[in-house]
Amino acid sequence: MASESAAVLGSNNEEQKMREMKARAGRAIGVDNFMTGVFYVVAGFFLALLIALASYIIIKGFAGAKPYMFAFDSQGIGNQFWNTIYLVFLSLLISVPIGVMAGIYMALYAKKGRVATILRIAIETLSSLPSIVVGLFGYLVFIVMTGNSWNLFAGALAVSILSLPLIATTTEDAINMLPDSYTKGAFGMGATKRQVITTVLLPAATPHIITGVILAAGRGFGEAAALLYTAGMSTDLNWHMVSAATNPFNPFRPGETLALNIWALRTEALRADAAEMANLSSAILMILVLGFSLLAHTIERHMKKKSGV
């Protein structure tokens, strides 16, 4: 009898334990389901926010636009659009050769040791510099010290300081990602280091480097703080006379970009249509930036498919 009741008690205890454990497991599963729901909501919220923001900016910009706003004169933002493209083009002309070469140096010349450490710190410092600080530096060195007034070229130099670390690190990554056999094979055929780099490694790394350059260009389009005191906040282009100082291709003239135009319209809104102009500028900037990053993504995906990674 006694042993029987003990057994019943034991099974009761066991049952209770089981029940408790089941309840705990149930709670854990409940929390798990709840948190999964939270994650889906947050992810969905951000997707919705991005889509809403992008479409709102683009639709609002074009809905309020009048034909004269697209003109390439003082009434429209055509000149600013041109300046934006031209400034980024000039800045890439400077930052791509230097950045790619520096990337090669990092990947193949200074792999380890003190120089490599210093380079890494330098790149990190450059990439974390506030753009307004770069703008001030550019203002002092390219404007005050050279005795020039605001000009597009000074702006391009400031933007290239900002895009240099991105281009250098993507080049370094692109070269490091290549299989060792490329280098060994080329060296085995008696090629010099320069020949290995220029004829084997660089061509193989080019698609990856191009994605980095496109991303840098996308950032350049939207840069404003670094240009405040370098490229200047005015533009006056003469599209009919190539010999004029204000001809669009002269880099040594003030060149307000789209991003600066938004800033200027907000602070010194002298015209009645300032809000519509800023909306349109934002819309065009968004299309430029999103277009360039989509392009970079497409190239990257294409490359991944090709290499089968």
Partner 1 sequence: MKAKENSWNFFVRLCGGIVIALPIVIGIFLIIRGNMTFTKYHHSIIEFLFSSNWAPADDMTGGGHVGSAVYIVGSLITCGLALLISVPFSMAAAIFMTEIAPKGGNKVLRPAVELFVGIPSVVYGWMGMTILVPFIKKIFNINQGYGVLSASLVLAIMIFPSITTVAADAIRSVPDSARKGAYGMGATRWQVIYQVVVPAAKTGIMSGVVLGLARAFGEALAVAMVIGKTRSFPKGILSPTTNLTSAIASDMGGVMEGGEYNAALWSMALLLFLISLLFIFIIHRMAGSAERKEKKLEKMAEQAAKAEAAANGGN
**CB under 8 Å to 50, separation ≥6 — which residues?**
none
Nearer to partner 1, 109 or 249 (CB): 109
What are the backbone dihedrals phi and psi of residue 253, each rounded to the nearest 5 degrees, phi first?
A: -140, 155
CB of 71 to partner 1, least distance (A): 22
What is the spatial distance between Cα 74 and Cα 200, in angstroms, rounded to a whole number? 49
CB of 187 to partner 1, least distance (A): 14
The CA-based diameter of the chain, rounded to the nearest angstrom, is 116
* DSSP string over 29-46: HHHHHHHHHHHHHHHHHH
Using the rule CB under 8 A, which residue among 267, 305, 307, 308 binds partner 1?
267
Q: In 3D, which of 231, 268, 264, 266 has the Cα closest to residue 142?
A: 231
* 286 in contact with partner 1 (CB under 8 A): yes
Using the rule CB under 8 A, which residue among 62, 86, 119, 299 binds partner 1?
119
* 50 in contact with partner 1 (CB under 8 A): yes
Using the rule CB under 8 A, which residue among 6, 35, 63, 71 binds partner 1?
35
CB–CB of 150/180 below 8 Å? no
Using the rule CB under 8 A, which residue among 134, 166, 209, 210 binds partner 1?
134
* 282 in contact with partner 1 (CB under 8 A): yes
Q: In 3D, which of 290, 277, 304 has the Cα closest to residue 60?
A: 277
**CB under 8 Å to 179, separation ≥6 — which residues?**
none
Q: Choose one: 8-16, 39-47, 64-72, 205-213; the region binding partner 1 (CB under 8 A).
A: 39-47
Tokens of 171: 């080049």
What is the spatial distance between Cα 118 and Cα 113, in angstroms, rounded to a whole number? 9
CB of 143 to partner 1, least distance (A): 10
Using the rule CB under 8 A, which residue among 19, 66, 111, 297 binds partner 1?
297
Interactions with partner 1, residue window 226-245 (CB under 8 A): 228-229
CB of 228 to partner 1, least distance (A): 6
Interactions with partner 1, residue window 245-264 (CB under 8 A): 259-260, 262-263
What is the spatial distance between Cα 209 and Cα 291, in angstroms, rounded to a whole number? 18
CB of 70 to partner 1, least distance (A): 19
Using the rule CB under 8 A, which residue among 43, 71, 242, 244 binds partner 1?
43
3-state helix, strand, coil in the chain (%, to 5): 75, 0, 25
Interactions with partner 1, residue window 141-200 (CB under 8 A): 141, 144, 161, 164-165, 168, 192-194
Nearer to partner 1, 152 or 228 (CB): 228
What is the spatial distance between Cα 200 and Cα 186, in angstroms, rounded to a whole number? 7
Helix, strand or coil, per DSSP, at residue 25: helix
* 73 in contact with partner 1 (CB under 8 A): no
CB of 271 to partner 1, least distance (A): 16
